[in-house]
Chains A and B, each alone.
Chain A
Amino acid sequence: MTGTNRPPEPPEPPEPPAPPAPGPDLRGTPMGSDLTRSMRRRQLSPQEAAVMEERVRRVELAISWVLRTGVVVSVAVIAVGLAMMFAHHGAWTSITGHTSYRSLTDRSTPFPHSLSALGRAIGRGEGRGIVVLGVFIPILPPVMRVAVGVLSFVYEKDPPMTIVTLYVLVVLVGSFFLAGG
Chain B
Amino acid sequence: MTPLDFVVSLALISVAAGVLGSLIGLGGGVVIVPVLTLVYHIDIRLAIGASIVSVIATSSGAAAAYVRERMTNLRAGMFLEIATTTGAVSGAYLTTILPARFLFVLFGLVLAYSAFATFRRRHADAPLTVSNDRIANYFNLHGSFYDPAEQREIPYKVVGTKLGLALMYVAGLVSALLGLGSGALKVPAMDSAMHLPMKVSSATSNFMIGVTAAASAGVYFTRGQIDPVIAAPVAAGVLLGATLGARVLGRVASKTVRIVFVVVLVVISLEMLQKGVFA
Known A-B contacts A75-B236, A107-B43, A128-B228; A175 and B137 likewise in contact (beta carbons under 8 Å): no
A selection of 11 A-B contacts at a CB cut-off of 8 Å is A4-B134, A38-B137, A61-B68, A91-B2, A105-B229, A107-B43, A146-B81, A164-B139, A168-B85, A172-B215, A175-B88
Chain A: which residue is nearest B42 at the CB level?
A: A105
Main secondary structure of the interface of B (DSSP, over half): helix
Residues in B whose Cβ lies below 8 Å from that of A96 = 2
User: Is B7 interfacial (CB 8 A cutoff)?
Assistant: yes
Residues in B whose Cβ lies below 8 Å from that of A100 = 1-2
* B3 and A99 contact, CB distance less than 8 A: yes
Residues in A whose Cβ lies below 8 Å from that of B64 = 64-65, 67-68, 71
Residues in B whose Cβ lies below 8 Å from that of A28 = none
User: Is A155 interfacial (CB 8 A cutoff)?
Assistant: no
Total interface residues on B, CB under 8 Å, equals 72
Chain A: which residue is nearest B10 at the CB level?
A: A101
Chain A: which residue is nearest B222 at the CB level?
A: A179
Known A-B contacts A135-B53, A176-B222; A1 and B134 likewise in contact (beta carbons under 8 Å): yes
Known A-B contacts A96-B2, A97-B2, A99-B2; A145 and B210 likewise in contact (beta carbons under 8 Å): yes
* B214 and A107 contact, CB distance less than 8 A: no
Q: Which of A62-79 contact B (CB under 8 A)?
A: 63-65, 67-68, 70-71, 74-75, 78-79
* A71 and B57 contact, CB distance less than 8 A: yes
Residues in B whose Cβ lies below 8 Å from that of A78 = 232-233, 235-236
User: Is B211 interfacial (CB 8 A cutoff)?
Assistant: yes
Stretch with Cβ within 8 A of A (4 or more), from B70-78, B113-121, B184-192, B262-270: B70-78
Distance in Å: Cβ of B47 to nearest Cβ of chain A: 9
Q: Which of B208-236 contact A (CB under 8 A)?
A: 210-211, 213-224, 226-233, 235-236
Residues in B whose Cβ lies below 8 Å from that of A91 = 2
B3, B219, B236: residue with the most chain A Cβ atoms closer than 10 Å: B3
User: Is A55 interfacial (CB 8 A cutoff)?
Assistant: no
Distance in Å: Cβ of A49 to nearest Cβ of chain B: 12
* A141 and B139 contact, CB distance less than 8 A: no
Residues in B whose Cβ lies below 8 Å from that of A109 = 227, 229
Main secondary structure of the interface of A (DSSP, over half): helix
* A142 and B138 contact, CB distance less than 8 A: no
A79 and B240 alpha carbons, distance in the complex (Å): 12
* A4 and B138 contact, CB distance less than 8 A: yes
User: Is B6 interfacial (CB 8 A cutoff)?
Assistant: yes
Given contacts A176-B222, A178-B219, 8 further A-B contacts (CB under 8 A): A70-B60, A91-B2, A95-B5, A135-B231, A142-B210, A145-B210, A146-B211, A175-B89
User: Is A51 interfacial (CB 8 A cutoff)?
Assistant: no
User: Is B204 interfacial (CB 8 A cutoff)?
Assistant: no
Q: Which residue of the partner chain, among B4, B42, B210, contacts A95 with CB atoms under 8 Å? A: B4
